[in-house]
Structure 1
């Protein structure tokens, strides 16, 4: 592969915005950021138009895209369609997500994800299992008949089938024995507290046990109230736990995102929680213009892209652009322990980049150093 110097008006490295810089890329990896006038010999210069070159985005929770819902199809084609949808919003790495379902369907989903990756499929960080170990009182759009309490044997089975692909699990800590959570954590699965009716004390206990994350702040979790701080209060109060938020003004009011950002700082990050319209399978999603619902009207997923999350963060929540970009790139990468590879423009990081216009419109996506 050739060595390329990408030159843009401004470059956001993940920490700050620089002018007059070139990003040097070789074999899909960033080698250096240098002055645009000091590009070394051997690098082909590519002058990029637009406004800002930034790290590409990561989506840790998405169910499908472009008309294909993964759980309804369980095909590599559905994963390819989801990847293409992600690219349309500047996202090059995604975790395909399966909502509460049978263990057999989860296992098959893990197998198809492996087929996709082994077949050269791009962008798949891993599989996020959202459920089935959740609280029926906070099931949201999840199917109650599949909700259950975990056993160590069943988790071992999922871990064995998932190996390096089972990367994240949303569960309700108050529904799970400590040894089940411990097994997941020791096996390298990022456990995320969600679809939970935990009291403040139950949630804090889960975080002290080592649960590092929580799923879609405010949605399907016990709220913050004066006498009952709940899961939301525990998330605010614990300085280590990171939490995703669906920044579409539908799942969460933009004012609630702004308030939460003030309380949580770098611990809050974006997901799309996006689904796609589908009329078959266990989860039927109906498009309602700015959201998806079940046929009965229950909110069931967003119509977001990661770039729209960033735009909403800046325009609707007053989050400074560098911080909004981090919420879509560096912070989700950090949740997964991958901040050395994604979310920054620095030597050794993957050359996955987005070029944005002044209106924060997407001009180009660069994957592995290739336009």
Structure 2
């Protein structure tokens, strides 16, 4: 079946195209053209002047729809992934919170199985358990430990699905961990850290090339007694080549900081992430007494820390545009093209180009998702545009 999308603004790597069309066949983009003349035999879809953009790449998502990926079940993986797919995340890397060695092995095995049937899932992301306990935040303390080489090598050698792993680089064994994971093609990121400039320089040299939920769970400029010191934030800004991600829900970071990251790190080095917990895109009741939902964000019940966002990828783009004043095309790129490149799936994801997967989102002028195509097929529940 040949499908043709017409009458929309198409975001390409070269910029916007108007009066063009996108041709889809067998789950791939056949062509992005400057002509909107109907192709004979094609199923023509008029998008009514809206924006045709690449599907979002969710590279840091703990859960959604009432389920957490750490639950390690087919139902949890499918439900959480579908919840975010409905909001335009056509590529998802399920994220594990700090958990046991045995559970990491189990989830990695399940992820491999899921990837055979659910093509939205493109690999596994592990956060922790090798974290600085002083900066652990909502990560559960009973699982925190220093890197154990026998343990992490066994995990990595037992599976091919791990695409990203985040730890605190400054803890004992952290730099060795970074050298090993990065040499195995795994995106290695700093997270939950109090690293300062010399630590970040060592981490970058050891293979840590990304900073998770930038500004959150890491210090900025600070003072100890009478002297002042750069924090992790300033150190990452000073490290050329280290990419960052921001939870652009408008709560974890204010619009002014989102503007600053955009200005200093730029589109090519900034990814938008949800860091979503199980209650994202969920209408049910919260039954876990450890959490509360307040002001559209999830917090620990004792108010000691934010526990994760309730955002979906479309909300991030909308926040960047409407609150931070970022051009739509740049906000979309930070939610699609940049994360696809940073995590290593840019050959098939992230941009609307010939030969790539037909993962496409239709956004209206108010930056609302009106339709989602996954591998060229309309995702059930997102066809408000199509009649």
- The reply to whether TM is greater than 0.5 is yes
State the distance in 2 between where 1:337 and 1:246 align. 20
Question: Which TM-score applies when normalising by structure 2?
Answer: 0.90
Q: Say if 1:60 and 1:70 are closer, same or farther in 2 by CA, change over 3 A.
A: same
What's 1:248 paired with?
Answer: 249
What's 2:211 paired with?
Answer: 214
SS at match of 1:125: coil
Larger displacement relative to structure 2 (172-181 or 19-28): 172-181
Q: Which runs of 4+ in 1 moved over 6 A?
A: none
Give 1:339 deviation, angstroms. 1.6
What's 1:232 paired with?
Answer: 233
What's 1:368 paired with?
Answer: 375
What's 2:366 paired with?
Answer: 359
User: 1:1-371 residue pairs with structure 2 within 5 A?
Assistant: 2-38=1-37, 41-71=40-70, 73-118=71-116, 120-161=117-158, 163-175=159-171, 176-225=173-222, 227-266=228-267, 267-277=269-279, 279=287, 284-297=290-303, 298-371=305-378
Larger displacement relative to structure 2 (35-44 or 106-115): 35-44
Structure 1: gaps (5+ residues): none
Write out per-residue CA displacement over residues 272-330 of structure 1, whole angstroms, 9 at most, x where no aligned residue: 011124545xx943322411122222310101010100000011111111000001000
| Two-structure CA RMSD over aligned residues (Å) | 1.8
Write out per-residue CA displacement over residues 76-109 of structure 1, whole angstroms, 9 at most, x where no aligned residue: 1111111111122211111111111211111111
Give 1:336 deviation, angstroms. 1.1
State the distance in 1 between where 2:287 and 2:105 align. 23
Question: Which TM-score applies when normalising by structure 1?
Answer: 0.94
State the distance in 2 between where 1:233 and 1:299 align. 22
Does the 8 A contact of 1:236 with 1:264 survive in 2? yes
Structure 2: gaps (5+ residues): 280-285, 379-387
Larger displacement relative to structure 2 (92-101 or 320-329): 92-101
- Aligned residue pair count: 365
Does the 8 A contact of 2:193 with 2:218 survive in 1? yes
SS at match of 1:341: coil
Write out per-residue CA displacement over residues 115-168 of structure 1, whole angstroms, 9 at most, x where no aligned residue: 3223x123112111110111111101112221111122111111023x221111
Q: Say if 1:81 and 1:15 are closer, same or farther in 2 by CA, change over 3 A.
A: farther
State the distance in 2 between where 1:105 and 1:289 align. 32
Write out per-residue CA displacement over residues 9-64 of structure 1, whole angstroms, 9 at most, x where no aligned residue: 21111441110011111211112111334555554432223511000101111111
Write out per-residue CA displacement over residues 247-290 of structure 1, whole angstroms, 9 at most, x where no aligned residue: 1222112211111211111211100011124545xx94332241
Does the 8 A contact of 2:167 with 2:174 survive in 1? no
Does the 8 A contact of 1:274 with 1:303 survive in 2? yes
State the distance in 2 between where 1:288 and 1:41 align. 53
Write out per-residue CA displacement over residues 149-190 of structure 1, whole angstroms, 9 at most, x where no aligned residue: 1122111111023x2211111111111343322111111111
What's 2:381 paired with?
Answer: none
Larger displacement relative to structure 2 (166-175 or 8-17): 8-17
